[in-house]
Amino acid sequence: MTPREFVKTYLPFARACEQKSRISAAFTLAQAALESAWGEAAPGNMFFGVKDSDGINGNEQLLRTTEYSQRSDLQFPEIISVEPVIRNGQKYFKYVVKDYFRKYDTPEDCFNDHAQFFYKNGRYRYAIGVANNPYQMAIQVAKAGYATDPDYEQKLIGVIKTIENEINKIQTS
C-alpha cells in the first residue's frame, strides 16, 4: 500500500480515535504505518505490534518478529536466530523470534485498543502528556521502550513527516 492509500484508508479511524483519546491522528497513523509496513503486515488487523502477554485467551496470534536487546538470554515462545550486532555504537543482540501479538476484528478496534494501551500503562504517562504533538509523543513513546529497535524514535519521526505531507495533500485536493 502506498503512503497515500494508507492515509486515505486509515485516517478516518485515526481521527475518530483522536477525538476519544486526544492522541494525534498523525502519530497514530505513523506508528501504524511503521509497525505494519504501510498496512502490508497487519495480520488480524494488528497494526501496532502490541504483544499479547498470555497467549492463551484466543485474542492472540503467534507471529514472526525482530527484537533487539543488550541481553543474550531472552526467552520467547520460539527463537529462530540470535546474532550480535552494533547499533548506535552499542552492542545488541538481534533476535528473530515468534511471539504472541494481539488480534482484532476490525482496524477500528485495533486503533482504539492502541490508544487505551498508552493510558493503561504508566510508563507512557509522559507520552500522554504530549499526546496532541505527534513528534513529542514519538520521542516519549520511544523513551518509554515501546519498541526494542534503538533507531525507533528517528524512524517514527520520519514516518510522521510523510503522514503529515499525505494528510495535507489529501486536504488540498
Reported as a single tens digit per residue, the pLDDT across 1-12 is: 999 999 999 999
Mean pLDDT of 4-31: 97
Place of cell 546474532: 83
**pTM of the model as a whole:** 0.83
Per-residue pLDDT band for 56 (boundaries 50, 70, 90) equals: low
SS3 153: helix
**Residue 138 vs residues 50, 63, 89, 165: alpha-carbon distances, Å:** 16, 25, 22, 17
Q: Are 139 and 146 in contact (CB under 8 A)?
A: no
Q: Are 128 and 34 in contact (CB under 8 A)?
A: no
Place of cell 478516518: 12
Backbone dihedral region for residue 19 (phi beyond 0: left; psi -120 to 50: alpha; all else: beta): alpha
Q: Mind listing the pLDDT tens digit for each residue in 88-147? A: 899 999 999 999 998 999 999 999 999 999 999 999 999 999 999 999 999 999 999 998
Positive/negative CA dihedral, 128, 132, 66, 102: positive
What does the alpha-carbon distance between residue 117 and residue 121 come to, in Å, rounded to a whole number? 6
**Is residue 33's pLDDT more than 80?**
yes
In the chain, domain spans: 3-172
Q: Taking the domain 3-172, which CATH number applies? A: 1.10.530.10
Backbone dihedral region for residue 89 (phi beyond 0: left; psi -120 to 50: alpha; all else: beta): left
Nearest-5° angle of CA 98, CA 101, CA 103? 135
Mean per-residue pLDDT over the chain, rounded = 93
Say what angle helices 3-21 and 25-36 make with each other, to 10 degrees: 130
**Is residue 86's pLDDT more than 90?**
yes
